[in-house]
Structure 1
Amino acid sequence: MTKVELVAMIAEDADLTKAQAEKALNSFVAATTAAIKAGDKVTLVGFGTFSAVTRAARTGRNPQTGKSIKIEAKTNGKFTPGKALKDLTAKKK
């Protein structure tokens, strides 16, 4: 699903114009990004949690030359699905 498709679904479901739905989606993304940058978590009960994860510095290997290289520490965003979302996407045995 693309952003345009998501905006169209939000607009239809919430009885908004596409411009209003896009503004709401952009606001959500901006607020979530700002919270993660500040080191906070954003938890949507039943859906999941957005958080920041720091990867430690490590030594890697250049696949072309085989030489060792230093890979610096880095902070990335992470999404952990909530129980309700896991249950919806779990494969039935």
Structure 2
Amino acid sequence: MNRTQLIRQMAQRSELTQADCKRILAVLEAKITQALYEGETLYLPPLGVFEIRYHLPRSGQNPQTGAAMEIPLKTVVAFKPSSALKQAVNQS
């Protein structure tokens, strides 16, 4: 499912227009992004948890030359699904 299909299905299941659903989805995306940027963990009980995880700097090797190199700190977005979501997916 892509973004357009999601918006269409949101409009069909609610009494909102596709334009309204598109704006709601944009606000939701912006708020999730803002919360993660500010270092917050976002709990959405029926779905799961969005959070920031940090991969600490470490030393490694360049695979082409074999030379030692330092791999910098990396910040990544992680999503941990709730048990209800896991069960719903496993039932199908």
Q: Is the pair's TM-score, using the shorter chain for normalization, greater than 0.5?
A: yes
Once the 2 structures are TM-superposed, how far is the Cα of residue 91 of structure 1 from its aligned partner?
6.7
CA offsets per residue over residues 45-86 of structure 1, 9 Å max, x none? 121011111110112332222222211112111110001101
Match status 1:3 vs 2:6: no
2:14 corresponds to: 14
CA offsets per residue over residues 4-59 of structure 1, 9 Å max, x none? 11111111112221111111111001101111111111111121011111110112
Distance in 2 between residues matched to 1:61 and 1:89, nearest whole Å: 39
The amino acid of 1:30's aligned partner reads A
| Larger CA deviation: 52-61 vs 28-37 | 52-61
2:33 corresponds to: 33
Output the TM-score relative to the length of structure 2. Answer: 0.87
Distance in 2 between residues matched to 1:71 and 1:85, nearest whole Å: 35
Q: Which runs of 5+ in 1 are unaligned?
A: none
- Give the number of equivalent residue pairs: 92
Distance in 2 between residues matched to 1:80 and 1:60, nearest whole Å: 28
Instruction: Call closer, same or farther: CA 1:44–1:71 in 2, change over 3 Å.
Output: same
Residue identity over aligned pairs, in percent, reads 32
Output the TM-score relative to the length of structure 1. Answer: 0.87
Where 1:87 maps in the other structure, the secondary structure is helix
Calculate the aligned-residue CA RMSD, in Å. 1.7
